[in-house]
Structures are given as C-alpha cells and as structure tokens.
Structure 1
Amino acid sequence: MTEEISMDEVGKGQGEQPAEGSEAVGVEAARGTEVTGRLPRWEGKARAKVNLVLRILAREEDGFHQIETEFQTLDLADDISIELSPSEGVSLEVEGVPAGDLGEAEDNLAVRAARSWLEAYADLREPHAAMPFPGIRIRLHKAIPHGAGLGGGSSDAGAVLRGLDELHGNPLGRGRLVELGSALGSDVPFFVLDEPRALGWGRGDRLLPLSALPARPVLVALPPFRISTPRAYRTLAGQREREGLGWAGGRLLEPEELNGWSRVMERSSNDFEAALERLHPELLGIRQTLDAFGARPARLSGSGSAVFGVFESESDMEEARRELRAVLPEARVIPTRTAAG
C-alpha cells in the first residue's frame, strides 16, 4: 500500500528538470516514449476499470454526490499514441468505433485533457516563451465500450495527461495532473495514477493506491442499452425517496479488509444495483448468471450498463460466457483479466 494522493499534493513535482540527455524540447526517455525524427511520440494503454465497491453518499449543495469506491483496472484497454507537432492545435484520430459514435472531437475527454495540460504547462513557462512543439496529435484505438461504466473516456484522458507530462520531462508532476484530472471527471484522477487498484472517496479525487491482487479472469457483459450517469442518479434518488431511505454515511475500513479476493467479496457492493435492476431486469439476470457460474463478485460497474464477474478459473468464466450467449444473445460479452501491475 502506498501514500494517499489528493488535491493537497497539487504543485508537487512542478519545476522538475528533465533528465540529463533529454531532447532539446525536454523530452524524457521515459517508458512508452519514442523519439522519431524530430517528432517525439508517446504510446501507452488506457485500461478499463470496474468498481469492486461503490457507495453513493450525501449530495452536496452543488448537486454532486460524495462517493466511496474501490477501483480495479482490467487488461481490457484502449491504445493511445501522442505525437508532438510543430503545427498548433490538438487533433484526434479514432479507430475501433463507427465514425461519430463518440460525438464531436472537441468534446472528447482526450482532447480536453490535452488542452488542459497545455494551459497548465503554459503557466510554468517564461512569459511569451515559444513551445518548440505546440501541436498535439492523438491517435486512439478504442477497445473499451463507451457509456458502460468502464471508464473508457476517463482512462483515455488520464493516459493523455500522463503521456504529455512524460514527453516534456514531467514538469507538472503527479499531484498537479490529479488536479487537472479532477476538473475533467470524477474517475480521471484514478487513471492519472496508473495503479491497478485504489480506494477513492470525495468526488473520486482523493485516492489511496492499494497493493495489487493476483490477476483473475473477468467476464464483462453489456446489454443492448446504455444508462446515462444523470439518469442513474435520478433513479437511485427516486428509489431512496420512495423507501424513506437517506443517503449513507462514510464507512471505516480495517486494513485487513483490503487484502485478498475473499475479503473483497465480503464487502463488494454497488448502491446503484437495486434501483437500476428494477428499471432494467436484464441487469439482474446477467448478474445472477455470472454468480451461478462462480463469479465472486458479480457486480454492476459504476452506473452501468456493464456487469462484470470475477472468476477463480478460466474454465468457470468460459462456462458463464457460453451460458450468457445462449440466454442473452443480444448482449456483448468480453473476456479479460484484472490487471496486476
């Protein structure tokens, strides 16, 4: 287990100098960074996540809810490359999804992350100092289904923030990147950390990286519909109002509760499940099928609509996969594994 990363650390790492031997533009020879000719390039993975635990707490005056969650990344990932360019502007090329399926490029979280990083970096430079490579070309190959509670867009944004900082010698540092990520979305700070597992609370911007659990097979099932996050919160609020339930308070975790898959299963939960399964009974059917074939846990991820199951063996996962294909042929089923580092 390592240290908590939060907004309190903003500013740490600013002004760090590139390593000796870096390119003239400050390109650090970091993992995933490749210098081709005069155009530095970074390549990396943007992993999907699932929520092993997700508790929705009190609503604040500005309408946002506090949360408590345990993030776990998967091997399922988007591929991202970032190339610096002498031409100003941020461009985005997307493969793996139909044209326009992700909306306008200007609204894409990867583009917004790049612009956010550029603005933050400009604040560190001398006034009127020119950037040798003011342009950014992002190439994104999508493998993570979008709009499913798997964090695909947020993971892309986190990878772009990490990649740009590495390309320039880490001038902002992780604390500042977490701050930038928090302004983009509640899951982005976790992906900035690039850790396999972490506790998150507040709005997801307070994080405690956890030691990785042994990798296990995972089956992700996506029904043929999506659930928007605002709708999920409205549905949960309506359920709690009808049942006379208030919003939960925070929970104290003992250190031993964080170790091992058996302890994960004991405390695994998702506050959205009951309300959304009433709205979409298919979600409950998927989760019950995964559970029947040995998934521990079997949960809704985030606010859905993806449902995942963690298995002890590949054979159990394959049996569940065949059953889901038989009983719910319209669902998309993706085998993967939990990331272990």
Structure 2
Amino acid sequence: MNQTVSLSAPAKVNLFLRVLRRRSDGFHELETLFQAIDYCDDVLIELNDLGQISLEVTGLEVGPVKENLAYRAASAYREAAGLHEGIHVSLAKHIPAGAGLGGGSSDAAAVLRGLDYLTESLLDSESLSKIASNIGSDVPFFLSDSTTAIARGRGEILEPIQALPGHTLLLVLPPVHVSTRDAYGMLGRSSDDYEHHTSPGLVSARGGWDTVISSAHNDFEVTIADLYPEVRCSLGALRQKGYPLVLLSGSGGACFAITRNGGDVESDAHELTEELGWPCLVTRTLESYQLITPMSAKP
C-alpha cells in the first residue's frame, strides 16, 4: 500500500447559475455550468501509524480544523473504509474561502481521491460519490474527471460535457467572505418558484465559448453586488475593460472575466490590482488535469 501522495485541488467558476426553488430539505434546486480553472490549493496526504486524523494548514486562514471539509473528507473515508491507519493532511491554502470558487469542496475531493489511491480503492465509486455529496454540493464535481460539467439538483447531479477549449481568465478577489447559506436566503426563493424547463444557458454549454458567453448569467450577482460594494466595484472595473464576459462566481465574492485573445491581460491585472486594492490574477480554464502525484515514502 502506498503511503504518501500529492494532489492539486483546482478552483472552479460558474459560467451559468440559476437558482430555481427552495426544497423541503432546506437546500435549493439549481442549474449551473461548472468550469475548473488553473488556480489551485496543494494537498499532501500521508498514511501513518498514529491511528488518528490530523490536518496542517499553511497559507490562507480556513477556520476550525474539524469543520474543514478536507478533514471531514478524511474522517468520512476512514470510517467508511474501516481504516486503522492514521491520516495526515497537509493543505497549502491559496484559494480564499467564501469566494464562490469551491476551494473547500475541491480540497475535500482531493482528499477522497488521494485516499482512494493510497488504499488501492477500498471503496467503490458509488460509496465515494455518496461521501462527496454528503460533504458538500460542489464536491462531486471536483471528484469527477470532468473540467466542464452541467450540474442540477443542489449541484450534485452531474452531466459532464466536452471540455471547453482552454481560455485565459482574469480573476478578481475582493476582500469579502460571502456565506453561501446567507446568499441563498437573500434570494428569497420559495418552493413555488420552480419552472419545468432547461435553461437556455445550459443548452448553450455544448456550443462552445461564443454561445456560453452570450448566455452567461448568475442569479446571485445583483444581490451580492448590492450588498458588497467591493464586489460591485470589481464587476464594474472588469466591465470597463470591455471583456466579452464578466460574471460573479457562485455566490461570490470572486469575480472573473473571460478575456479577448491577444490582449495584454497581465497589464490589465496589474492595473486593476492598483486601482481596486485587492488581488487580480491571470489564470486559465482547464481542459484536463493530472491531480495525483505519488511520492516516495519517508525513510
């Protein structure tokens, strides 16, 4: 049995997000288009003889250890698989929490992937998927092999589609932490708001970037921009650059732009960082990724 593995945990943006209704279980029915991006946390997982779970975090603050989704994923896997070994997770945190980028969910999926590899698949795919869904609505997407996918239900019902060609993306990270629960509450959806048809934005997802850009939408954008001036300023600054697509990601507060081919995006990122006073990063959408890197056991 292998003992140590290193993984990348990529962020995502939502190229389309429509919230349909509040369900009887308290979650919300939604339709969204997930796109993985090359902006990652780094996860190192080690099996040991200590018989317990530990999590070490460097970089950005993530809150109490036992509430961290990576810790919860390790705990759930260990219990379901009946592991006696201890699990140590080292998490280098680059993706901010409360940004709508799915960083915590991606970390959890990376832990599940890593433990599946280290234990030589003690759990079947159905059991892994169940754990992922129980941890968080975005976790199943990151556990899948797809970089582009339509999601329904509360986000756990996936329809992988052909990956969109890689495209440069400008990501703006205003200094706000948006509670996903509060964001859904502010939308005010009821159980009677459901419309029985597939959104045009999801139909367009199969048509390439031009149709995705023309149909892009996020139900949270107006509400979150009204509540957080930093988000409103970020969206406005991006739109002044004339990019083909500017949108809030998830429930915010990260904002992003799909840029023009041939533009000086690095210069734009520098100018926006100076203008806004918070990070603006250049990255790319992902067409594929290699998540797992086996490592030699410590002597």
Paired with 1:156 and 1:314, the residues of 2 have a C-alpha distance of 33
Q: State the AA in 1 paired with 2:233.
A: G
Q: State the AA in 1 paired with 2:129.
A: V
Determine if the alignment matches structure 1 residue 301 to structure 2 residue 249.
Answer: yes
Q: Which of 159, 177, 184 matches 2:135?
A: 184
Please tell me whether the aligned partners of residues 9 and 41 of structure 2 are also in contact (alpha carbons under 8 angstroms). Answer: yes
Q: Which moved more, 1:213-222 or 1:310-319?
A: 310-319
Match of 1:156 in 2: 107
Match of 2:281 in 1: 334
Q: Which of 52, 55, 67 matches 1:107?
A: 67
Paired with 2:250 and 2:111, the residues of 1 have a C-alpha distance of 22
Match of 2:90 in 1: 139
Deviations 1:297-336 (A, max 9, x none): 211011011001111336342343234224312x221221
Please state how far the C-alpha of 1:284 moved relative to its aligned partner: 2.9
1:241-260 matched pairs, under 5 angstroms: 246=193, 249-251=196-198, 257-260=205-208
Please state how far the C-alpha of 1:212 moved relative to its aligned partner: 1.3
1:40-51 matched pairs, under 5 angstroms: 40-51=3-14
Please tell me whether the aligned partners of residues 204 and 212 of structure 2 are also in contact (alpha carbons under 8 angstroms). Answer: no
Q: Which of 322, 331, 334 matches 2:270?
A: 322
Q: Which of 17, 38, 43 matches 1:54?
A: 17
SS of the residue corresponding to residue 263 of structure 1 reads helix
1:1-341 matched pairs, under 5 angstroms: 27=1, 35=2, 40-97=3-60, 101-122=61-82, 131=83, 134-237=85-188, 246=193, 249-251=196-198, 257-313=205-261, 315-329=263-277, 331-341=278-288
**Count of matched residue pairs:** 286
SS of the residue corresponding to residue 315 of structure 1 reads coil
Cα distance, 1:178–1:312 mapped onto 2, change above 3 Å? farther
Paired with 2:48 and 2:18, the residues of 1 have a C-alpha distance of 43
Match of 1:21 in 2: none
Please tell me whether the aligned partners of residues 290 and 320 of structure 1 are also in contact (alpha carbons under 8 angstroms). Answer: no
SS of the residue corresponding to residue 45 of structure 1 reads strand
SS of the residue corresponding to residue 158 of structure 2 reads strand
Please state how far the C-alpha of 1:102 moved relative to its aligned partner: 1.4
Paired with 1:141 and 1:314, the residues of 2 have a C-alpha distance of 33
Q: State the AA in 2 paired with 1:70.
A: L
Paired with 2:181 and 2:79, the residues of 1 have a C-alpha distance of 29
Please state how far the C-alpha of 1:178 moved relative to its aligned partner: 1.5
Q: State the AA in 2 paired with 1:335.
A: V
Deviations 1:89-146 (A, max 9, x none): 111111112xxx3112111111100111112212xxxxxxxx5x51111111111112
Which stretches in structure 2 are left out of the alignment for 5+ residues?
Answer: 289-299
Q: State the AA in 1 paired with 2:260.
A: E
Q: Which moved more, 1:271-280 or 1:255-264?
A: 255-264
Paired with 2:44 and 2:89, the residues of 1 have a C-alpha distance of 6
Paired with 1:104 and 1:321, the residues of 2 have a C-alpha distance of 33
SS of the residue corresponding to residue 91 of structure 1 reads strand
- Alignment TM-score, normalising by the size of structure 2: 0.89
Which stretches in structure 1 are left out of the alignment for 5+ residues?
Answer: 1-26, 28-34, 123-130
Please state how far the C-alpha of 1:265 moved relative to its aligned partner: 0.6
Deviations 1:174-224 (A, max 9, x none): 332121111011111111114211111001111011211111111111212
Please state how far the C-alpha of 1:87 moved relative to its aligned partner: 1.4
SS of the residue corresponding to residue 225 of structure 2 reads helix
SS of the residue corresponding to residue 263 of structure 2 reads helix
Paired with 2:122 and 2:129, the residues of 1 have a C-alpha distance of 14
- Alignment TM-score, normalising by the size of structure 1: 0.78
